[in-house]
Structure 1
């Protein structure tokens, strides 16, 4: 329900805001990832449009404490 100009005001562009909203829509039960293997959790995240290998690895490193989630690719 947040308009895109509000996202922009806090430094989030439209593409990233859209990816965040898709993730919220597709993942109503994010705690399920804690019970998955790392490859399964990575695959599940990457099914969401806008979430690629880099974002999946960074997310799993921080949320699950998964040091084996390798950040591949380039941020830019």
Structure 2
């Protein structure tokens, strides 16, 4: 089926660095308290991803420079459309 494993070797801390970095940022933003229900937890996670992670957090992109992930995605889609 052409599928590939998304995680790397067992015991290699570098293989999951991006996921670990994201989880640390998420914990920092919403904390670790218990939510009253699953819907509340999902709404908080969605809010952090959409408002902070995708729209305000800037990162260095090798082609586009220092942009947010949302800006990078828009530029990439514009490049593909051209």
TM-score using structure 1 length: 0.37
Structure with more strand by fraction: 2
Name the one with the larger helix percent: 1
Q: Which of structures 1 and 2 has the bigger CA Rg? A: 2
Q: Which has the higher contact order (CA 8 A, sep 6+)?
A: 1
Q: Name the TM-score, length of structure 2 as normaliser.
A: 0.35
